[in-house]
Amino acid sequence: MISLLLILLPLLSGIITFFIKKEAGARAWSLLAAIATFVVAIVAFTCYNNTASLSFSAPWMGILNSSFAIKADGMGAMLCMLTALSFPLIFISTWTTSYKKAHNFLGLMLLTQAGLMGVFLAMDALLFYFFWELALIPVYFICSQWGNEKRIKVTFKFFIYTFIGSLLMLIGILYIYSQTNSFAIDAFYNASLSSQQQMWVFWLFFVAFAIKMPIFPLHTWQPDAYEQSPTAATMVLSGIMVKMGVLGLLRWLLPVLPIASYSWGDTVSTMAVIGIIYASLIAFQQNDMKRLVAYSSIAHIGLMCVAVFSETQSSIQGTLFQMFAHGINILGMWIIVEIIERKFGTRKMNELGGIAKKAPALTIFFFVIAFANIALPLTNAFVGEFLMFNGILGSPVTQYGVAFMVAAGTGVILGAVYTLKMGRQVFLGKTNSRTEQGTDIVFHEKAILCVIVATIIITGVYPQHLLHSLEDITNSILHKSDVLPLLKTMKQ
Amino acid sequence: MNALVLSAIFGVVMMFSGVVFKRNASIKATGIIAMIVLLLVNCMEMGNIKFFKFDVSAFMVFNDYALFFNSIAIFATLVYLVLTSAEMEKVGRNLAEYFALIFFIIAGITLTTSFTSLLTLFLGIEIISIPLYILTGSDKRNLKSNEAALKYFLMGSFSTGIMLMGIALIYGSQGSFSIDAMNFSAAAKTPNLHIAGMLFLLFAMSFKASVAPFHFWTPDVYDGAPTVFTSFMATIVKAAVFIGFVRLFGGAFGKLESTWSLWVAVMIAATLFVGNITAVFQQSVKRMLSYSSIAQAGFLLFGVYVMNEAGREGLLIYSAAYCLATIGIFAVLSKMTDYSFEGFNGLAKHQPLLAFTTTICLLSLAGIPLTAGFLGKFYMLKAAVSNGGNLWLVIFAVVMAAVSVYYYFRVIQAMYFKDGPVQSVAATPLEKYTLLIVCVLIILIGVFPNVFLNWLYFSR
């Protein structure tokens, strides 16, 4: 029941926000709603441990055998927590950014949050599809209304991309439904399609998730969309929304179509690895900070994709952990980009420089987050990436584990290079006319960056708690997607 | 039966109302009240209260499916009249006649949706078509309207001829007009006669439903006709023709499915392709909507193609969703001075409510979840997938659905993200509330289709 509150709270408060015409009132109200959701999430995932109170089911479309079933398993809880934590931070960090008709902007943001929560909690394929789209529509309006110059075209590209993907997924869902006659997730897990059917249904699902993540070569919408969107929306897109794709792989693809996931695993991993190196090389060339972070995000997500298809406990747990870590890190990155853009009026790296002298606190925060982004030990991403690499190397389902690991490792090294290059160009060196007048960050900015840095270091030094909460779901995913015994019997 | 008899009577009443009433407002009120009465008596018949007890079972059977669709059609017409009767006055001086013709069309629709004899189908289709020819040309001083009417009339009569030929051939092969008495067995020695007849009927119905490659009249006629009547033609009439289509091919030619299913599949693909791709290149919203109506016909045709229960239910939801949404958009469009996409620029600023309702209608047409349009598409795809063996068509259909997003969203973009001059779009409060009700219905059907479909199940 309490998990239903996680969807309803942002949904209703979002609708109310549309009617608060005063900007200050709308901002206060939406922040309050986001904090309330955060509190509910904390209460839900710390005080309630039994699954009964975290799940909710009501009849919905009886004729279609679809029900409004939501449940917070380990993965859902972690992602809901990430969402609930991110939104207050986003609202505070953009507190002084001015938006025309702020109440509409904030209302749409809260609707997005409701959609995202729904995607993470849905345990019914049709419901999942509904929320999958519901999360997209408000983002479309946010980005087209409040984005930069080329926003309409770019956002439209993004929308059409994801819409085609989700329609293909709909066919996949309908195809499995035609075999099971139920949309419930357990029915999907027990669908046991023949391997021939799985082989092509796999792609219907995978294309949808790959577009969202994004995986090479379906990533072309992403850098443009990140660049042109208002930064608050970029935070949501890159911090939380890409996790929809990874969640889709882990919850709706691997366990539902295990044989196909095994057979196509190498193909998909190859695509992801190409994406990692390709994106890293392009990131290296970027001058715009937003584009650089966007490409680095493609590389990080690509690594998660490889890890998912390695199908070992270490890699899956690492992916889950990294989903949280990446969400926090990239959020921190965007907050800093937003602050710099607001203070100095540009995101071009060659126009910046020497900020360290003018804004030491900002610089310290940036470097901690940058270290987390390149997975230095003691930061959260180190734990995740270490587990993922460990899993990829020891993967029993692919022969090319070493090759994937070497290629993905190259990506990580390149990641360090371009991230530090950005640090050097923007923060170190001499000040120029643009950065001369710079001032350091103020209290509320320090506070949210403190929260992010604290999360990075705490989960980096003591990951045990989070890892433990992800253990059950990892085992259950692996158990359902384990095809090796099946293949052995087939060979005999 | 209730609706059939009363709509014919009301048609005559409306014709004379022009003589009795001098003011348009009274005519409008009479028409709308008559339509409400019509809706009520049709709902009564669903509840098994029949006023007229003639034995017509040889010609038509008013089963639940037909009655349910008639309710949808009459309700949609009611919404249509409330929304656009003000614009109808501006077309010409003969408001009473327009209302009368619309009532006659409703009579034709009830015939078309509940026929069991091919002759009744022919009558129904003709009763629909002839008033439409007149309505198309009702803007007498407009050359485009005249051209459209003549074109429609010539092409329409030609297809009627083909239809009659088809019926004659079927009669020759079967010795009966009744669709229940048709007995096509694969072992028949000379199937050519009825296969030829069936194809003639397929072509004629495709023409009436504007299915490619028989769609060429559609854009010109829809564009030339006064916008208020385009709205009626493109929605309610088209949906009714599809109900007749399904009845004909499910009932009479069901056993010959292997013969025609490939034809229909190719026609679906062609319709979707032509409709969507051409709509992308239109500069006028009205023309875009004509092509979009062709594209939507492609999805409606799935109901004919799949031949299962889900497809028939899907046809109901789809037609309800499509009619409501398109009527809503046309209602706003008919108030605009500039029909191009640029004409919609900045509408959200000056008329937030109209822009909002148009957006909901467009989202529904594009098939975005939480709207009725999504559920219609969902049902059609579900029916097609569970039918099996035609996944290429399903995948093609969703790719085309994604294309349709492009041109529907162009209107949304114009309204919300672009600036434009202040438009003098005057909508009365009644029209605004009706539009809001339409939006609420679209979302309600999209979220709780049970409420809608249960009518169908309970009345059984």
- Low-confidence residues of chain A, pLDDT below 50? none
pLDDT tens for residues B167-217?
998 888 888 888 887 766 655 555 778 788 888 999 999 998 888 888 888
List the structure tokens of B330: 């046309």
Query: What are B240's two structure tokens?
Result: 């009714």
% chain B with pLDDT above 90: 34
Contact A178 B378 (CB under 8 A): no
Name which of B349, B381, B460 to mutate to probe chain A: the one with the most chain A Cβ atoms within 10 A of its Cβ: B381
What are the domain boundaries of chain A? 264-492
Give pLDDT tens digits for B304-314. 888 887 888 88
Q: What is the pLDDT of residues B5-14, one digit of tens each?
A: 999 999 999 9
pLDDT at B127 (0 to 100): 93
Q: For position B460, what pLDDT does the model report?
A: 46
Smallest CA–CA distance from B399 into chain A, residue: A164
Dig out the tokens for B379 from the structure.
């049902």
The answer to whether A144 contacts B381, with C-beta atoms less than 8 Å apart, is no
The stretch B371-386 carries a mean pLDDT of 88
Would you kindly state where each structural domain of chain B is located, as residue ranges?
2-457
- Where does the pLDDT of residue B89 fall: very low under 50, low under 70, confident under 90, or very high at 90 and above? confident
- pLDDT for the residue numbered B185: 62
pLDDT, tens only, A215-260: 888 888 888 888 888 888 888 888 888 889 899 988 888 888 888 8
pLDDT at residue number A73: 83
Q: With an 8 Å Cβ cutoff, is A171 touching chain B?
A: yes
Which of A8, A10, A77, A69 lies closest to A44 in space, CA to CA? A77
B280 interface with A at CB cutoff 8 Å: no
Q: Does B449 touch chain A (CB under 8 A)?
A: yes
Asked if B386 lies within 8 A of A164 by C-beta distance, the reply is: no
Q: Do B409 and A141 touch (CB under 8 A)?
A: no
Among A51, A60, A92, A72, residue whose Cα is nearest residue A5: A72
Distance (Å) of CA A339 to CA A97, A218, A300, A431: 9, 30, 23, 17
Chain A residues close to B399, C-beta within 8 Å: 164, 167
* DSSP structure string for A213-261: TT-TTS-THHHHHHHHS-HHHHHIIIIIIHHHHHHIIIIIITTTSHHHH
pTM of the model: 0.90
Task: Name the DSSP class of A204.
Answer: H
Does B163 have pLDDT greater than 90? yes
B422 in reach of chain A (CB within 8 A): no
CA nearest A149 in B: which residue? B417
Residue A62 is predicted with a pLDDT of 65
Does the pLDDT value for residue B459 go beyond 60? no
Distance from CA of A46 to the nearest CA of B (A): 33
Region B320-336 average pLDDT: 89
Closest CA to B76 of B115, B105, B54, B52: B105
Give the pLDDT of residue B130: 93
**For the segment B111-157, what is each residue's pLDDT rounded down to a tens digit?**
999 998 999 999 999 999 999 999 998 888 889 899 999 999 999 99
As given in the structure block, the two tokens for residue B10 are 């009301």
* Interchain contact A144–B (C-beta under 8 A): yes
Mean pLDDT of B277-293: 90
Q: Is the pLDDT of residue B107 over 90?
A: yes
Q: Is some CB atom of chain A closer than 8 A to the CB atom of B391?
A: yes
When pLDDT is averaged across residues B157-171 and rounded to a whole number, the result is: 91
User: Looking at chain B, which residue has its C-alpha nearest residue A127?
Assistant: B369
A58 to chain B, any CB pair closer than 8 A? The answer is: no
Q: Which among A62, A159, A174 has CB closest to B385?
A: A174
Query: Which residue would you say has higher pLDDT here, B422 or A28?
Result: A28
Helix then strand then coil, in percent of chain A rounded to 5, is 75, 5, 20
